[in-house]
Amino acid sequence: MISQVFILTTSGDHLIYKDFRGEAGVDAIRTFYEAVTALSGDQPPVVMVGLGVQSHKGMHFVHVKQGGLYWAASTKSNPSPFTVIEFLNRLAALTKDYCGSLSEKSVRMNFALIYELLDEMVDYGYIQTTSTDMLKNFIQTETMSSKPFSLFELGNVGLFGAETQQSKVAPSAATSRPLMFTRGDQGGNEIFVDVIERLSVIIGSNGVVMKADIEGEIRVKCYLPGCSEMRIGLNEELSIGKSQLRGYGMAVRMDECSFHQAVKLDEFDAYRILKICPSQGEQTVMQYQLCDDLPCAPPFRLFPTVERDIGNSVALNVSVTLPIPKGSVSLSQELSSPDQSAELQSKNKALQWDIPRFPGGAQLSALFKLEVPGLSSASLQEVGPVSLCFELPKHTCTGLQVRFLRLTPTQPGSSQRWVRYVTHSDSYTIRI
């Protein structure tokens, strides 16, 4: 059971503090903050404060870090860490749903709402409910949004590429706005289905893919006030598990998948259709994994240069990090276009090359010259492996597609349905 829940900024300001059981005082927060900031770097999510302060004897603090804030819970019993961590994650997710975004500012502005949420979610330290459907009946405070929202606001467009409107891709900022439960004004009739894949790849120095894992999820973000059932059709030739094979063409394969509790799977086996009654807010409908057997070539390759081999697409915010020998003093660079940048981070002993936009099929090259005093042949061993960080919109590496998205009963007025695909790099490493 949870004794207290609090939200802190990284500088230690209290944003939210709620005591459920009266087992420890407010000064527990300070104890926690001191423990978490005592050492440099991130601390593991469970901090135990034992001796010393008498009133906090044997007290555990579990925290997660989201949106640059500490979301922490204290407890005197010994509960399941998974439960407490998941609860804090859920609290952060709900805050994001209700406030639009997760930041110090939005939490500060909506503190009354968060107190209200906490009051309904937890009673006497026991989790009561966290489902948006249940909570929306009880939450009365209105969201305070820092900026008025407009879907067609141009400032939103950049995030997912410039051709947003033409190609019917909703800007990613479209979902960073609060759920509006009571008012059915602009934007109330929208539903977003996001297929998000996280790619983690290791490519050996000889160009052979040594490890390739994809962790994917289908996330639904629903703003529709009343939606009884939604049907999501996936690729019919989707096969699950190692042995199963469907269809004749290029099968879309995944090793394992799991579904949200509320998903009805009666048509999944035959037609690969997921049926769900989405509640308002964000939820992960399906999660899936694919290990070791990528259906397509990995999106980046690096010889002395980084090469792309996917046609007709764009990669955004690519950043390449290359560890370099200790003691490198200066860097000279030849980059192929002016918007790219490269810098030497001597603290991290690395060289970072940023490419804001990377057209598909293109090949970029860069030549870096480093000055290393006292270079020995062994220093060359310190070069590499190269890590890539990127975002590929409109692309899934498994090839998973949403064939259709049907809502029943048909929504009155024009409801907007968006399906978006994006692949992120979780860890993309190329050895030299």
Token duo for residue 230: 């939604």
Q: What share of the chain is helix, strand, coil (3-state, %, to 5)?
A: 15, 40, 45
Q: Which of residues 156 and 421 has its CB atom nearest to other proteins in the complex?
A: 421
Report the distance separating Cα 100 and Cα 147, nearest Å. Answer: 10
Task: Please name the residue ranges forming H helices in 50-110.
Answer: 81-99, 104-109
Q: Which of residues 136 and 158 has its CB atom nearest to other proteins in the complex?
A: 136
The candidate with the shortest Cα–Cα distance to 357, out of 384, 331, 392, 327, is 392
b/e map 376-413, b = 16+ CB within 10 Å: eeeeeeeebbbbbbbbbbbbbbbbbebeeeebeeebee
Whether a cis peptide bond, with omega within 30° of 0, leads into 385 is yes
Q: Which of residues 116 and 236 has its CB atom nearest to other proteins in the complex?
A: 116
Give the nearest distance from C-beta 300 to other proteins in angstroms.
15
Q: Which of residues 189 and 280 has its CB atom nearest to other proteins in the complex?
A: 280
Give the nearest distance from C-beta 358 to other proteins in angstroms.
19
Give the nearest distance from C-beta 6 to other proteins in angstroms.
9
3-state secondary structure of 421: strand
Token duo for residue 165: 């409107």
Burial, 311: exposed, middle or buried (Cβ in 10 Å; 0-12, 13-18, 19+)? Answer: exposed
* Rounded to 5°, angle at Cα 140 from 284 and 98: 30
Q: Are 207 and 306 in contact (CB under 8 A)?
A: no
Give the nearest distance from C-beta 337 to other proteins in angstroms.
26
Place of tokens 């019919």: 236
Q: Which of residues 239 and 427 has its CB atom nearest to other proteins in the complex?
A: 427
Q: What angle do the packed helices 111-121 and 81-99 form, to 10 degrees?
A: 140
Give the nearest distance from C-beta 244 to other proteins in angstroms.
16
Q: Which of residues 107 and 191 has its CB atom nearest to other proteins in the complex?
A: 107
Give the nearest distance from C-beta 415 to other proteins in angstroms.
28
Place of tokens 């490890």: 211
The candidate with the shortest Cα–Cα distance to 4, out of 12, 232, 14, 307, is 14
Give the nearest distance from C-beta 157 to other proteins in angstroms.
26
- Centre a 10 Å sphere on the Cβ of residue 428 and count the other Cβ atoms it contains: 23
3-state secondary structure of 341: strand
Give the nearest distance from C-beta 78 to other proteins in angstroms.
5
Place of tokens 């792309």: 308
The candidate with the shortest Cα–Cα distance to 46, out of 55, 57, 34, 59, is 59
Q: Which of residues 158 and 204 has its CB atom nearest to other proteins in the complex?
A: 204
Q: Which of residues 33 and 164 has its CB atom nearest to other proteins in the complex?
A: 33
Give the nearest distance from C-beta 258 to other proteins in angstroms.
3
Q: Which of residues 164 and 300 has its CB atom nearest to other proteins in the complex?
A: 300
Give the nearest distance from C-beta 387 to other proteins in angstroms.
5
Q: Which of residues 213 and 236 has its CB atom nearest to other proteins in the complex?
A: 213
